[in-house]
Structure 1
Amino acid sequence: MSEFRDSGTFQGERMPKRPNIVWFLAIGATLTGVAMPMGTPAIAVSAITSHPNQKSDPPSDRIAAAMRAYLRDLAAKEQFTGTALVVRRGEVLVRAAAGAADAEEDIPNRPDTVFRIASVTKQFTSMLVLKLRDRGLLGLEDRVCPYLIPGYIRTCPQAWRPITIREILTHTSGIPDIQQLPGFYIKLSQPTTTRELIQRFVNKPLDFKPGTSWKYSNSGYILAGAIIQAVTRKPYGTVLHEEITGPLSLRHTGYSRRNPPAGYAKGYFTVGSPAPPINGSQAFSATGIYANADDIVRWDRSFGAHTVAPPATVKQAFTPQAPCPSNGCLNLPSSAYAFGWLVDRLHGHRLRYHPGLLQGYAASNMYLPDDDIAVVVLSNVEETDTNGIARHLATMALKSASAHDH
């Protein structure tokens, strides 16, 4: 098995072609409300024996070993390319990386590699709106059109007049999904403006009367980003930094209208099949954020610590807002949609999560708030079943918590 050290940079190291899975485990590492920062020394699994400064925790050790075996098996079958991080009550159970961040340049994925997180972006956009609501800059029951005229649309379509900010955040507006419109993926690599994005769907017929049904729509979150910019008079990326990534010290999370910082993982449709690059302006506030797994766990754990927002706001972000269709929201196990989170239960435990999927990337962020378990799986291979992997790891983490408590 190929091994390398975590240099704490995004540039990666030269590896033989088709790099094998590389494992990192923070043995007994604890996180007091935050995730492991980039640059924390990581140890190749095959070299690990024990941690001299911490008492052994057999239940946790067994579960962590099982997690590593599970991911190693997936990687061997090319079913896991990317990074995975599982943290339970501040303790890192597994921190792993597999496959290539850039196959053409033989650069491997590392535990701190930055990925596009696609629709996991929606958690951040929703929280920005809730924080601006707390500040009195907007209301969830406000109609969207007054915030969009004249900067983004000239006049309000008749069908849009009753649509509220709450509805665009909960996929109950009826506005058709921009990603389902002809030409979206052809344009995905080209620079654009927020106004031009909105022009693509502003005059399209609604899929249903606002507030009467649920259908996933990236268009609503593009409108949310426009409203954020309108009320703050600042770019979306600046507001994201000022309100969330800066205060939480998410140093490797952000939004760029072009590309993420150098060293981010290149996207692939399948292993060895490169996807065209994504221009950030096309993804915007619906799918445009980039991050690494450590930062996403820090984001998750900020909810329990109430460092991102007051308890009432965090509670509202997790509270069901709209029931899912009978087959679940996005055809995934879920009973309702909250503000950027799917609502579910996992073996009786409250689960909040969101998937991400966009041209060359797949992601899943799962958080069990009552158990303080965060599971993040980020991939630069679109066909990777990040949700299935994360759900399996979350189940294992719950077993670890149960064994630990007893």
Structure 2
Amino acid sequence: MTTLLPPRLARAALVVLLAGAACGRWAAAAEPSPELARSIDAMLSRHLKPGAPGATVIVTDHGVPLFRKAYGLANVAGNVALDPAMSLRVGSVTKQFTAAAIMLLAEQGKLALSDRIDQYLPGYPKTDTPVTIEHLLTHTSGIRNYTALPRFGEVMTTDVSVDEGIAFFKDAAPEFKPGDRFAYSNSNYFLLGAIIERVSGMPYADFMAQSIFAPLQLTHTAIETGAAAAPVVGYTQERRNVVASPDYSMRWPYAAGALRTSVDDLALWDQAIAQGKLLKPESWNRMATSYQLHGKRPTGYGYGFFIRTMRGKAAIEHGGDIGGFSADTLRFPQEGIYIAVLGNSDSASPAPDALAEKIAALVLQR
């Protein structure tokens, strides 16, 4: 049955239901609907074919699972089927976890979002208007996106240290004065990773494991720091053929995109946000509020989240694309709906974000 969950997520769902019985908090949660599950499955089956790279999918309502299933192959050459418990690379979905780490350090009094970044990154070029940690969180720093710089294709297969990565882009001319515009830049979150290391005194991957993943029992989630055998192969389109994506260094994605996780762990992550775990509710709310340029013009981005309206509903979303993989996470906070689609192809059509929207259309019309 497509709505069954592994024991640890099933226990989490049971806790949600018991909490609802006690205080009515989850009264809006709907019973899993076989008809809805069949509708989602039929739609996804039209797009995700057997014998090809596919996707893992989960849909929850206030933490209660409505749908969970995998489609396609984790390893085409080995004819290994994808399983919903498997961990996949999720690219820029990493950013919401990095932003949460920054908020955790802020709550601990170890940094302030208004701090200049050169307080933590000695030698980083100063500008007339200081770049702050909040500028990095909101993509309003003006710092150029290192993955879009001309020479990035030449170096992306080579392991780098954090300092070497920063050196690659730090002297590129800023696009604009800090705080004046929104421009999505992976460099912002690379720098946030370096700040986390400086403040915590440990490698970014270790801090995330100890302070974020372990407390929330995200046991299938990790920051990749090097080559490692994984059961899920990433694929790309080469002319008319689907081939394994070339290997490249996971040191470059770093705090901007080196996360590997499962849909089960993402569902637990969603409930941590909804229930105010790890961070104070005001911190989660701040992350999910659109940043305003000069206090007036909303950017449509908070801290690690895009803030959108979808089908007339407030939505919080972030996707991720990284060689061989594509992902999307979509939250409807007022309805309590969460959708995650993780694909092991970077050239699938429809892409995970489009599939997540199609699922949302089915779920929200109940």
Q: TM-score, normalised by structure 2?
A: 0.87
Match of 2:80 among 100, 104, 107: 107
Cα separation, 1, equivalents of 2:325 and 2:206: 24
Q: Does 1:358 align with 2:322?
A: yes
1:63-102 residue pairs with structure 2 within 5 A? 63-76=36-49, 81-102=54-75
Partner SS for 2:347:
coil
Deviation at 1:158, TM superposition (A): 3.5
In structure 1, how many angstroms separate the alpha carbons of the residues matched to 2:342 and 2:52? 13
Work out whether residues 117 and 291 of structure 1, in 8 Å CA contact, stay in contact via their aligned partners in 2.
Answer: yes
Q: Which of 172, 189, 196 lines up with 1:228 in the alignment?
A: 196
Kept in 1, the 8 Å contact 2:32–2:65? The answer is no
CA contact (8 A) 2:53 2:235 kept: no
The CA RMSD measured in Å over matched residues stands at: 2.4
Contact 2:290 2:302 in 1 (8 A): yes
Q: Tell me, which stretches of 5 or more residues in structure 1 are unaligned? A: 1-23, 37-56, 150-154, 324-333, 401-406
Tell me what 2:119 maps to: 146
Q: How many Å separate the matches in 1 of 2:147 and 2:35?
A: 43
Could you tell which deviates more after superposition, 103-112 or 200-209? 103-112
Aligned to 1:383: 347
**2:3–2:66 contact (8 Å) kept in structure 1:** yes
Equivalent-residue separation in structure 1 for 2:83 and 2:5 (angstroms):
20
User: SS of the counterpart of 2:355?
Assistant: helix
> How many residues were matched structurally?
341
- Larger mean CA deviation between 112-121 and 94-103 belongs to 94-103
Who is 1:329 aligned against?
none
Displacement after TM superposition at 1:32 (Å): 6.9
- The question of 1:299 aligning with 2:269 is answered yes
Q: List 4+ stretches of structure 1 deviating above 3 A.
A: 27-36, 76-80
Contact 2:52–2:76 at 8 Å: present in 1 too?
Answer: no
Q: Is the 8 A contact 1:83 1:378 kept in 2?
A: yes
Task: Tell me what 2:333 maps to.
Answer: 369
CA distance in 2, matches of 1:278, 1:25: 35
Does the 8 Å contact 1:29/1:91 carry over to 2? no
| Alpha-carbon shift at residue 344 of structure 1 (Å) | 0.9
Deviation of the 1:28 alpha carbon: 9.6
**Aligned twin of 1:26:** 3
Question: CA separation in 1, counterparts of 2:13 and 2:90?
Answer: 17
Q: Do the aligned partners of residues 186 and 95 (structure 1) sit closer, same or farther apart at CA in structure 2, a change above 3 Å counting? A: farther
Q: Which amino acid aligns with 2:302?
A: A
Identity %: 29
Q: 1:376 to 1:132 in 2, by over 3 A?
A: same
Question: 1:174 maps to what in 2?
Answer: 142
Structure 2 match to 1:134: 107
CA distance in 1, matches of 2:231, 2:73: 11
Q: Is the 8 A contact 1:115 1:264 kept in 2?
A: no
Deviations for 1:283-305, whole angstroms, at most 9, x for unmatched residues?
Answer: 10000111011101110111111
Counterpart in 1 of 2:176? 208
Aligned position for 1:48: none
Matched with 2:252 is 282
List gaps (5 residues or longer) in structure 2.
15-29
Q: 2:167 aligns with which of 199, 205, 208?
A: 199
Cα displacement (A) at 1:122? 0.2
2:95 aligns to what?
A: 122
**CA distance in 2: counterparts of 1:196 and 1:240, whole angstroms:** 21
The CA deviation string for residues 336-379 of structure 1, in whole angstroms up to 9 with x for no partner, is 10010000122332210101011111010111112221100001
Cα 1:210–1:139 change in 2 (3 A) is same
Is the CA contact (8 Å cut-off) linking 2:328 and 2:341 kept in structure 1?
Answer: yes
What SS does structure 1 have at the residue aligned with 2:365? helix
Q: TM-score, normalised by structure 1?
A: 0.79
For residues 359 and 160 of structure 1, what CA distance do their matches in structure 2 show? 37
Bigger drift between 276-285 and 266-275 goes to 266-275
Matched residues in 2 for 1:311 and 1:135: separation? Answer: 15
Give the SS at the match of 2:169. Answer: coil
The CA deviation at 1:110 is 1.0
Q: 1:180 to 1:160 in 2, by over 3 A?
A: farther
- Letter matched to residue 232 of structure 2: A
Q: Show the counterpart of 1:52.
A: none
Aligned to 1:343: 307
